Structure 1
């Protein structure tokens, strides 16, 4: 390595020094490169191995690399779903001393895929709509944090499966600008129009290449982000008025926000001079209502819809085994040990890279329900797991970059068969 290499990082991994920074990114040897699907980018981006993990490396200018690195760190502090910045590397030169572009290094988000990799044949309208809905929620979240994205698109987003839906993560923040005082309506509408135009163009590009289903309408799907965004924004930030006799609508509003995955920090409730009309204005905190409850009860860190699904199953287990009076934390631990963990341990080692454990469990619940419907009988957990592994999971492609333990919490030696015995008359709630 020649020249004076500069590495800016909050936590420097010494293994960074072992990568061939003296070579242009497109000339890196195969031994360093991780073969993963990537989206479209205006810059050269490649994946590489680093200390048993995978990183994404983007060649750009020094100024843009530093700016995006700081922006991603800020967004992480605001709990916005985004990729994790690792380092900025500048002063790269070849062995002959010729200057090379600076790079931004981010950590690859495990089990995430660019939108082009989420379908095997042709993109179906239902899948496209779910992707757009996930992006709409992400856009609402970044706007609530005061971020003007400036280049909203499917290509600048990574998606992870989330209990039949998708969770979206911001992957390109080089055009982002943060406004601590919040965004104006004009700035939000500008971002929304950028999103609509970009999504339409991306889907038309797929259509031209014969990679979308015949019934998919790129314009209709792209317009969907506008409708989804405005519905979410109104629900999260809008005020409403109602007669004082309809106080139940306050609880209803809170429940709707919780179902969207948001917690309430406070509610501003005002009555008019006559005392007959109530006006409420919610102040919501970041998304993750179900994620936080599941994490608190079980230590499982999942996507929001996955958390909701697992909590439904946990609550059903609690109601059947202990009733409403049963200690919630005790029953959550019992459910984790006797239901969730045996299922995850039953997945063969060579299949653990297919899906996240929480997504496997969600799909297993669906699979078991369909088996029960088709066969008109209760399906034991062990039988459902065996059928799901052989008939469904084994035929999926890997969505992780490496194999490893599904969760560090799995230490209790209870088998699927033992779990079935413990299950007694309880049936998984799906």
Structure 2
């Protein structure tokens, strides 16, 4: 069977990779070193045309299946890695391969740790994982192997946003059943308990963290969020403001309310209210609509807060929102990001940089007893904070592989096609 790459290929150079060689033996000039989580399969990151791809060796059946599931999730705008292609017809004895696009600024949970995983960091990771699992279930997706190891995390202001990275065991349904939903959370409980024990054995768990309590915590957080989103609420007719409070709580959790189902309970003066939640991203959508910035939910909330503050400070409360947003983007956001030295911009994505600068400005102003201004905050943040942070973007060298490496890659591609 000849080599075949199936998918939405945006880079023709993918055919040049040494598919006839086991992934673990690929030459280093094809690869880029990035943090990766624990996997039962061999996973490598390849660099092509300024882009980074994650490649996983897996059986042909599961490569095709996972590729399709990831596309289904992408169509539903669920938080997951982007599928690129799957490769079949490699040398005899070699598995197929699944190619996904590397999620920039994302980290496996072990890489999120700095020394020892502290309780507050773990809490934010569990919150992000609970939100991810709820979003998947709302879309009818049964994961079958929910764990921290099968998740990538991106910083989202003071929290994290979680993305599914392994859909090998997943199933897509028109609507998830109660049994599937409870089974998924039970698997998450077991997997996270094991991961905490592993961290504990390696001396990477804070002494105050109990593995079993952590496993129980993810279950509690999931059910609390699921109930907030899906349960009916009985209210008195005169307490209609509680409906608005419910919507606001859902918005703060990052979920939009498409419509409200309201019905009168027979024989009483009460109303039963159940919101219909279709997707997360209330603040993301507003910011994207106003500015074109596509960022995480908490980052969007923070940027919108700054935008609203700018509107008040400039006396623009009665001006069209889109016009104010354009001015804020040109006068505040873009100049702030561009003030970061070019060699340091890859450490964090622009929205996260802006959020952290706002935090730094607040702390400096508290110490000074007055507002220090954005320009001074940027300089202090760069000099005292940013230079000490690790890079969270895959920084790619400008130079291309040397000519010998190019020739070797060309020969390997020719042989593979033949």
TM-score with structure 2 setting the length:
0.93
* Alignment match of 2:239 (pick from 240, 243, 246): 246
Query: For the residues of structure 1 that align with 2:211 and 2:169, how far apart are their CA atoms?
Result: 25
1:66 maps to what in 2? Answer: 64
Query: For the residues of structure 2 that align with 1:339 and 1:279, how far apart are their CA atoms?
Result: 45
Q: Which has the higher contact order (CA 8 A, sep 6+)?
A: 2
Q: Does 1:302 align with 2:302?
A: no
**SS state of the match for residue 28, structure 2?**
coil
Q: Write out per-residue CA displacement over residues 129-156 of structure 1, whole angstroms, 9 at most, x where no aligned residue.
A: 1111100000000001111100000000
Alignment of 1:195-274 (within 5 A): 195-273=188-266
Q: Which moved more, 1:12-21 or 1:268-277?
A: 268-277
Alignment of 1:11-410 (within 5 A): 11-93=9-91, 98-180=92-174, 182-273=175-266, 276-402=269-395
Cα offset, 1:377, TM superposition:
2.2
Q: 1:192, 1:226 within 8 Å by CA — same for their partners in 2?
A: yes
Judging by fraction of residues, say which structure has more helix: 2
Query: For the residues of structure 2 that align with 1:27 and 1:118, how far apart are their CA atoms?
Result: 28
**SS state of the match for residue 136, structure 1?**
helix
Q: Which moved more, 1:18-27 or 1:160-169?
A: 18-27
Give the CA RMSD over aligned residues: 1.3
Cα offset, 1:251, TM superposition:
1.1
Cα offset, 1:275, TM superposition:
6.1
Cα offset, 1:13, TM superposition:
2.1
Cα offset, 1:188, TM superposition:
0.8
Cα offset, 1:402, TM superposition:
2.7
Q: 1:91, 1:99 within 8 Å by CA — same for their partners in 2?
A: no
Q: Which moved more, 1:376-385 or 1:57-66?
A: 376-385
Gaps of 5+ in 1: 405-430
**SS state of the match for residue 326, structure 1?**
coil
4+ runs of 1 displaced by more than 6 Å? none
Q: Write out per-residue CA displacement over residues 348-367 of structure 1, whole angstroms, 9 at most, x where no aligned residue.
A: 11111100110011111110
Query: For the residues of structure 1 that align with 2:381 and 2:108, how far apart are their CA atoms?
Result: 26
Gaps of 5+ in 2: 398-418
Cα offset, 1:264, TM superposition:
1.1
Cα offset, 1:324, TM superposition:
2.9
**SS state of the match for residue 353, structure 1?**
helix
**SS state of the match for residue 333, structure 2?**
helix
Cα offset, 1:99, TM superposition:
3.5
Cα offset, 1:114, TM superposition:
0.2
Query: For the residues of structure 1 that align with 2:332 and 2:198, how far apart are their CA atoms?
Result: 45
Q: Which moved more, 1:287-296 or 1:322-331?
A: 322-331
Q: 2:284, 2:297 within 8 Å by CA — same for their partners in 1?
A: yes
TM-score with structure 1 setting the length:
0.90
Q: Write out per-residue CA displacement over residues 313-333 of structure 1, whole angstroms, 9 at most, x where no aligned residue.
A: 101111221343121111111
Q: 2:152, 2:165 within 8 Å by CA — same for their partners in 1?
A: yes
Q: Write out per-residue CA displacement over residues 376-399 of structure 1, whole angstroms, 9 at most, x where no aligned residue.
A: 122021111000011001100000
1:410 maps to what in 2? Answer: none
